[in-house]
Amino acid sequence: MFKNNKKAQVGETMTWVVATIVIIVMLVFSIFITSAIIKTKELKVYNQDDLLATKSLIGYLLTKDNQGVIVYDQLKAEQDLNEFNGNLALNIFKEFYEKDYGFAGSGIWLGVGSAGFQIRKNKFFDSGPLFLKEGVGYKVQPSVSEQIPLGENKYLELILVEK
């Protein structure tokens, strides 16, 4: 009577062992696929200490104007901030992040740059980030610095420096 029960227990145990091995193999496979997909992303986040700022930047880039053109496409075509996306950036980044970021009066900067870290001035965010200018004396590491490619040698950059 007890011998029959032992055979059933061995059969059930083997089923669970095989099922566990299959589940582990599937998890390992999905982790490898996810890591391969992440490596191919275009968004380069160099220092991501503020997840809210990162999401704000992505939301800003996906905002549509009155004609239905998203900000990212505007920036890619014009290679600079225009009245719509420049004022929108001021409303988002200056209004929400001015309390937390601000070094020497300009700890928030969004603009278009080119290869070789040459930042162009724009009328929306002062005359470029003061904390990165040569000869001014400030050498501060940005708290958040994100670059979004706009073309071959152009990128949109958000720089935030904590007070």
Q: What are the residue boundaries of the structural domains of the chain, listed by start? A: 1-41, 44-160
Instruction: Give the type of residue at 36.
Output: A
Instruction: Name the burial class of residue 131, with classes exposed (0-12), middle (13-18) and buried (19+) by CB atoms within 10 angstroms of its CB.
Output: buried
- Across 100-118, average pLDDT: 68
Task: Please determine, for residue 46, whether its predicted confidence score (pLDDT) is greater than 50.
Answer: no
> Does residue 20 or residue 105 have the better pLDDT?
20
Q: Read off the pLDDT of residues 113-159 as tens digits, 9 standing for 90 and up.
A: 776 555 666 777 765 555 454 444 444 566 777 788 887 778 888 88
Average pLDDT, the chain: 75
Task: Please determine, for residue 48, whether its predicted confidence score (pLDDT) is greater than 70.
Answer: no
93: DSSP letter:
I
> Does residue 59 or residue 3 have the better pLDDT?
59
70: DSSP letter:
B
Look at residue 28 in the predicted model and tell me its pLDDT. 93
Look at residue 17 in the predicted model and tell me its pLDDT. 95
Instruction: Name the burial class of residue 101, with classes exposed (0-12), middle (13-18) and buried (19+) by CB atoms within 10 angstroms of its CB.
Output: buried
Say what the pTM is.
0.59
Look at residue 16 in the predicted model and tell me its pLDDT. 93
Task: Please determine, for residue 68, whether its predicted confidence score (pLDDT) is greater than 70.
Answer: yes
Contact 141, 49 (CB under 8 A): no
Look at residue 2 in the predicted model and tell me its pLDDT. 53
Look at residue 11 in the predicted model and tell me its pLDDT. 82
